[in-house]
Amino acid sequence: MVITIGAMIGAGKSSLAKLVGEYYGTDVFYESVDDNPILPLFYTASDEEIQEKRYPFLLQLYFLDTRFKSIKKALTNDNNVLDRSIYEDWYFAKVNKDLGRISDLEFNIYENLLDNMLEELDELPKKAPDLMIYLTGSFETILKRINNRGRGYELDEGLVSYYRTLWEGYDNWIEQHYNASEVLTISIDEYDYVNNEEDAKKVLQLIDNKLQEIRG
């Protein structure tokens, strides 16, 4: 089984990916963050620098490249967990286009590249994940978790409106646009699987039950 974990920034994807990977004894493909040269620039750039340097577009291309490499490996070798996947990238690109941070031309180039990559996935023995675990929660919980993990470039108060814009449309994107696999939605307001062992067990049981349902 191939599982992908989707969520808003700061929701706890990596922590859940680690938990699920250890539980099932699978490899985990983590999102490229710590070694990402563009991410700090994206978060700290002024509006003028964003328009001049095109950091949002470059960041989307960087993520698209790294996620494509990860999902190809994950779908070639069964039993893997992906900490975010190529399918969510479009949503981030669309939000940045709507905010005027990515131009229409850049977005068209991005979409064409993404479409080509998804067509390549169709040629693999396994064409898509079996399950997306989607983490949803209140905006207050999201902000708290972003602050708790303490990445300096993510903590600027000027980013709150960007986070809110992403958060406001995320549930709708999952419900209306994502169709690559079955979805299991888990509330991070209800389950604190990082700090509460009982909650972790409950979340793993929910995942077990969903996978059994998928297998029929």
CB 78 within 8 A of CB 1: yes
Total number of domains constituting the chain: 1
Say which of 35, 47, 78, 83 is annotated catalytic: 83
Residues 13-58: pLDDT tens digits?
A: 999 999 999 999 999 998 877 788 898 888 888 888 988 899 999 9
DSSP-assigned beta bridge partners for residue 29: 82
Residue with tokens 């039950």: 209
Ramachandran bin of 79, using left for φ above 0, alpha for ψ from -120 to 50, beta for the remaining angles: left
Residues 137-182: pLDDT tens digits?
A: 999 999 888 888 766 666 677 788 999 999 999 999 999 999 999 9
**Coil/strand/helix, residue 25:** coil
Q: What is the CATH number of the domain that holds 11?
A: 3.40.50.300
CB 188 within 8 A of CB 12: yes
Q: Which domain holds residue 211?
A: 2-215
Residues 107-149: pLDDT tens digits?
A: 999 999 999 999 998 888 888 999 999 999 999 999 888 888 7
For residue 93, give every residue at least 6 positions away whose Cβ sits within 8 Å of its Cβ, in sequence order, or none.
60, 102, 107, 110, 111
Helix or strand holding residue 132 (H, E): strand 131-136
DSSP-assigned beta bridge partners for residue 187: 136
Concerning whether 83 is annotated as a catalytic residue, the answer is yes
